[in-house]
């Protein structure tokens, strides 16, 4: 279903983004980038896969002070969880069993966190292989409040979680061939504890999970570049990416996978525990930026047009992999 985004839509989008943001030097820079980016997008044919304004609104909400940095076990984290579950319900996502919540104990750096972690797990039934699963994941926890400063983690990882909700929106009109588990993992910042617990206590047999797609930090990059990691370890994924027709002008790079001397991201986020038990994965993320793990990782640093295109790109890769794995079965 192809559509051209009309000038009016783009204009409303710009007005909304400008209106929602407060003014600062950094913001002025973002707005310049935004208008530059928008002029690019006006020329492009854009496939409309989900509500683009809602994507930005959800990111803004999850990275607002109300959520107090979403630290595992704390009030803001619970609020974020409620927000995600409500969005899932609105979009017809079903719980895996009786509840969307999977709670777990864990310890990290010699500290016990009894019942502090809670993953959010939703499900969309597959049309061709309902008994085979693709887990699409993003962690919703972040660092909380440190020295009276709220670490809002707009990019890390409100960006991934808002994208996860857009996946649910996309599935309403485009149901997946494999059953998809939408996983908002908790306690990623505490040793990937939520994802570790999930793979060790899976609600389904390990062999029935054919892929993990993980998103962590996807909303800003000054070079218009996004990395995809994981194809190196799997021939089907390698060939899908080789033949992939990128519907955006985002540069989709492979690397950061131990093959190129750059930081190896193979186990850097929640896809790591999947890789450890030989489940294929694709991790999407951008290069670190100066606000990484600082209280300055705020909504104003997000690049809305870049981010929207990135989410389109990831959903397009998903569709391609979903179809290819379906054929190979």
Could you tell me the smallest distance in angstroms from the CB atom of residue 73 to Zn ion? 17
Pick the piece of the chain touching Zn ion (CB under 5 A) from 151-159, 220-228, 278-286, 313-321. 151-159
Could you tell me the smallest distance in angstroms from the CB atom of residue 71 to Zn ion? 13
Is 297 an interacting residue with respect to Zn ion (CB under 5 A)?
no
Is 37 an interacting residue with respect to Zn ion (CB under 5 A)?
no
Could you tell me the smallest distance in angstroms from the CB atom of residue 323 to Zn ion? 29
Is 156 an interacting residue with respect to Zn ion (CB under 5 A)?
yes
In angstroms, rounded to a whole number, what is the distance separating the alpha carbons of residues 217 and 122? Answer: 21
Q: 299 CB contacts (<8 Å, ≥6 apart)?
A: 21, 59, 60, 63, 64, 152, 154
Is 141 an interacting residue with respect to Zn ion (CB under 5 A)?
no
Residues 85-124 that bind Zn ion (CB under 5 A): none
Could you tell me the smallest distance in angstroms from the CB atom of residue 139 to Zn ion? 6
Number of residues in contact with Zn ion, rule: CB under 5 A?
3
Per-residue binding string, Zn ion, 197-226, x by CB under 5 A, is -------------------x----------
In angstroms, rounded to a whole number, what is the distance separating the alpha carbons of residues 287 and 279? Answer: 24
For 246-308, the DSSP string reads -SSS-EEEE--SSSSSSPP-TTSSTHHHHHHTT--EEEEE----TTTTSTT--GGG--HHHHH
In angstroms, rounded to a whole number, what is the distance separating the alpha carbons of residues 284 and 230? Answer: 9
C-beta closer to Zn ion: residue 81 or 132? 81
Is 157 an interacting residue with respect to Zn ion (CB under 5 A)?
yes
In angstroms, rounded to a whole number, what is the distance separating the alpha carbons of residues 271 and 254? Answer: 16
Q: Site residues (CB under 5 A) for Zn ion?
A: 156-157, 216
């Amino acid at each position: 279903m192809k559509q051209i985004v009309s000038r009016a839509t783009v204009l409303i989008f710009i007005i909304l983004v400008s209106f929602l943001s407060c003014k600062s030097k950094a913001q002025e820079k973002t707005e310049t980038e935004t208008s530059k980016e928008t002029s690019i997008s006006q020329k492009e044919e854009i496939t409309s896969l989900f509500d683009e304004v809602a994507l930005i609104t959800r990111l803004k909400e999850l990275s607002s002070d109300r959520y107090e940095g979403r630290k595992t076990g704390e009030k803001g984290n619970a609020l974020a969880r409620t927000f995600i579950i409500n969005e899932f319900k609105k979009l017809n996502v079903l719980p895996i069993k009786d509840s969307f919540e999977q709670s777990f104990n864990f310890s990290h750096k010699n500290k016990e966190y009894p019942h502090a972690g809670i993953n959010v797990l939703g499900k969309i039934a597959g049309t061709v292989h309902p008994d085979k699963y693709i887990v699409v994941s993003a962690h919703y926890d972040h660092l909380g409040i440190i020295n009276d400063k709220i670490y809002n983690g707009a990019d890390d990882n409100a960006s991934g979680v808002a994208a996860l909700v857009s996946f649910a929106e996309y599935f309403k009109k485009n149901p997946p061939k494999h059953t998809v588990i939408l996983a908002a993992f908790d306690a990623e910042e505490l040793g990937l504890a939520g994802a570790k617990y999930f793979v060790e206590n899976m609600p389904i047999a390990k062999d029935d999970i054919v892929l993990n797609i993980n998103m962590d930090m996807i909303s800003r990059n000054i070079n218009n570049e996004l990395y995809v990691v994981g194809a190196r370890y799997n021939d089907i994924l390698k060939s899908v990416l080789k033949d992939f027709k990128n519907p955006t002008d985002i540069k989709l790079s492979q690397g950061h996978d131990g093959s190129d001397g750059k930081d190896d991201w193979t186990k850097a986020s929640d896809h790591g525990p999947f890789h450890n038990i030989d489940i294929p994965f694709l991790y999407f993320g951008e290069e670190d930026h100066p606000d990484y793990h600082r209280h300055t990782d705020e909504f104003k640093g997000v690049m809305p047009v870049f981010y929207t295109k990135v989410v389109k790109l990831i959903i397009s890769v998903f569709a391609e992999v979903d179809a290819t794995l379906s054929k190979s079965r």
